[in-house]
């Protein structure tokens, strides 16, 4: 039995099993049109199920921190049950209901119940990983969160195959059962290092709103929110942006279908790459500076080239757009995986699950605002995608300014005083 008590069996493998399951939320575009057709509703209306799932992900993570700190076995089991029940309920809603009743049921199952499983499952393995990989916290969180990013690349072809041969409802039934097995095995294996005991907090309660009085935490929350908001604004319209860019370019148009898989791979690479690099840096916040600078430069380059060509979308512009999507995906993934280690570098490990969960509330709001900002821009500009680039460029600049002015405090002792006021 002692051979099983190591960082790979008790932390890395269960984290991957859990995150590779819940990360399939990003496969939404693979089946949203099939759901809309099956229940007789518009894709726009059905799309709110995804927004709700991300919202409940962030908010459940924000409020589940105390439970995760206290009992990872309980939280991992709740995640397993909620996530798979949400998938099975979505399948039943599609098969037996139509119209508005089906839509409401999908909102409840996919958006609310599955979203709660997502948030608790996302948060649960993170502290355990950082405890086992004490000297390589960035690598540890990168391993887990890379699984969240890889899930889309792994599951998409499987989902398409099942849909084609068995139907959309059966896809949810089959994968719900598979993910239950994966997550339940992860639940059984997950364990904190021998001898680690959480501090007794029976006499105190964590007051989240007090954390927003901390300039450092508020800065981290804001840059995390903007990075996700901009990422979703571009990534959720990736296919449409590519189709528009290469519409009159027969040479490259055939490649468009391959590009989303490539950008998904870079999303996963950013999750493991940026967080691992942060282990070698004096200040983990340097990663966010790199993310914002690279996104500012490539977005500015795309807009400049478009202006120079007087609105003509050349092959050179098309290549820059592909590079833009690659860099945005890298930064989007890297922002997620670097966050827990950055928070631990500012506030220590004592309440990291609570603090990380609270920071993930930014994901909840970005899940509502990111893709909807793009939708509003497209509606008001006659489907002009370049205005999305202008909006994201401005936001990336704002994020960089916030980063260099608010997230520079590395004094853990000072920040721990804020934590005491949050109890």
Which of the two residues, 351 and 329, has the higher pLDDT score? 329
**Residue 199 maps to a domain:** no
Where among 191, 216, 244 does a domain terminate? 191
Q: Which two tokens stand for residue 196?
A: 């680690």
**382 has pLDDT over 50:** yes
Same domain, 384 and 250: yes
Which of the two residues, 331 and 423, has the higher pLDDT score? 331
**420 has pLDDT over 80:** no
Same domain, 368 and 401: yes
User: What is the distance in angstroms between the CA of the first residue and the CA of the last residue of the chain?
Assistant: 39
Count of domains forming the chain: 2
Residues in the chain: 423
> How far is it, in rounded angstroms, from Cα 299 to Cα 296?
5
Most confident of 137-146, 228-237, 411-420: 228-237
Which of the two residues, 257 and 188, has the higher pLDDT score? 188
**pLDDT for 6-40, tens place per residue?**
899 999 999 999 999 999 998 887 898 899 999 99
Same domain, 151 and 298: no
**pLDDT for 188-222, tens place per residue?**
999 989 877 666 554 455 677 789 989 999 999 99
Same domain, 349 and 384: yes
Which of the two residues, 259 and 346, has the higher pLDDT score? 346
- The per-residue pLDDT for 36 is 94
**Residue 201 maps to a domain:** no
Same domain, 283 and 412: yes
Residue closest to 316 by CA, chosen among 371, 407, 374, 251: 251
- The per-residue pLDDT for 236 is 80
Percent of the chain with pLDDT over 70: 90
**Residue 239 maps to a domain:** yes
| pLDDT, mean over the chain | 88
- The per-residue pLDDT for 29 is 79
- The per-residue pLDDT for 1 is 46
CA atoms within 13 A on the CB side of 259: 26
- The per-residue pLDDT for 58 is 92
**Residue 200 maps to a domain:** no
- The per-residue pLDDT for 150 is 83
CATH number at residue 365: 1.20.1250.20
**422 has pLDDT over 70:** no
Where among 167, 191, 215 does a domain terminate? 191
Domain range for 59 is 1-191
Same domain, 243 and 161: no
**pLDDT for 296-310, tens place per residue?**
999 999 999 888 866
Same domain, 155 and 222: no
Same domain, 187 and 222: no
Same domain, 177 and 290: no
Residue closest to 168 by CA, chosen among 28, 38, 43, 51: 38
**Residue 241 maps to a domain:** yes
Residue that the structure tokens 């999305």 belong to = 388
Same domain, 187 and 210: no
* Confidence band, pLDDT 50/70/90 cuts, at residue 411: low
- The per-residue pLDDT for 385 is 83
> How far is it, in rounded angstroms, from Cα 343 to Cα 140?
14
Beta strands in 173-260 (DSSP E): none
Q: Looking at 93-107, 266-280, 368-382, which range is the least confident one? A: 368-382
**Residue 185 maps to a domain:** yes
Residue closest to 390 by CA, chosen among 265, 270, 302: 302
Q: Which two tokens stand for residue 190?
A: 């997950």
CB 64 within 8 A of CB 121: no
Where among 160, 191, 222 does a domain terminate? 191
- The per-residue pLDDT for 202 is 46
**Residue 314 maps to a domain:** yes
**Residue 82 maps to a domain:** yes
CA 208, 209, 213: angle at the middle one, nearest 5? 115
Same domain, 29 and 72: yes
Same domain, 99 and 154: yes
């Amino acid at each position: 039995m002692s051979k099983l008590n190591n960082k790979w069996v008790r932390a890395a493998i269960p984290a991957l099993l859990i995150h590779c399951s819940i990360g399939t939320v990003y496969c939404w575009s693979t089946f949203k049109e099939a759901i809309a057709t099956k229940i007789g509703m518009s894709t726009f209306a059905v799309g709110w199920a995804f927004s709700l799932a991300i919202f409940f992900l962030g908010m459940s993570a924000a409020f589940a921190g105390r439970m995760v700190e206290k009992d990872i076995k309980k939280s991992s089991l709740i995640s397993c049950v909620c996530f798979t029940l949400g998938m099975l309920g979505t399948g039943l809603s599609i098969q037996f209901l139509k119209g508005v009743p089906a839509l409401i049921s999908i909102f409840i199952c996919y958006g609310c119940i599955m979203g709660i499983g997502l948030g608790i499952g996302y948060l649960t393995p993170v502290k355990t990983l950082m405890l086992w990989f004490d000297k390589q916290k960035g690598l540890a969180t990168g391993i887990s969160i890379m699984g969240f990013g890889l899930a889309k690349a792994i599951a998409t072809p499987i989902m398409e195959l099942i849909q084609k041969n068995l139907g959309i409802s059966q896809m949810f039934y089959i994968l719900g059962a598979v993910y239950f097995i994966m997550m339940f095995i992860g639940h059984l294996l997950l364990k904190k290092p021998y001898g680690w005991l959480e501090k007794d907090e029976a006499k105190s309660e964590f007051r989240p709103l007090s954390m927003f009085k901390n300039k450092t935490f508020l800065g981290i929350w804001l840059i995390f929110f903007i990075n996700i908001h901009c990422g979703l604004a571009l990534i959720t319209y990736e296919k449409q942006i590519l189709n528009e860019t290469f519409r009159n370019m027969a040479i490259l148009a055939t490649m468009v279908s391959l590009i989303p898989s490539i950008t998904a791979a870079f999303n996963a690479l950013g999750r493991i790459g940026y967080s691992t690099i942060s282990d070698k840096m004096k200040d983990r916040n340097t990663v966010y500076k790199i993310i914002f600078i690279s996104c500012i430069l490539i977005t500015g380059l795309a807009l400049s080239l478009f202006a120079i060509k007087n609105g003509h979308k050349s092959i050179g512009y098309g290549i820059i757009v592909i590079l833009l999507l690659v860099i945005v995906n890298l930064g989007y993934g890297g922002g997620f995986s670097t966050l827990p280690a950055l928070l631990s570098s500012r506030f220590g490990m004592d309440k990291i699950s609570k603090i990380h969960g609270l920071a993930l509330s930014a994901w909840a709001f970005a899940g509502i605002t990111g893709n909807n900002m793009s939708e509003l821009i497209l509606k008001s500009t006659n489907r002009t995608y370049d205005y999305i680039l202008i909006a994201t460029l401005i936001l990336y600049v704002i994020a960089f300014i916030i980063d260099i002015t608010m997230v520079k405090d590395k004094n853990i002792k000072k920040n721990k005083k804020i934590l005491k006021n949050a109890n």
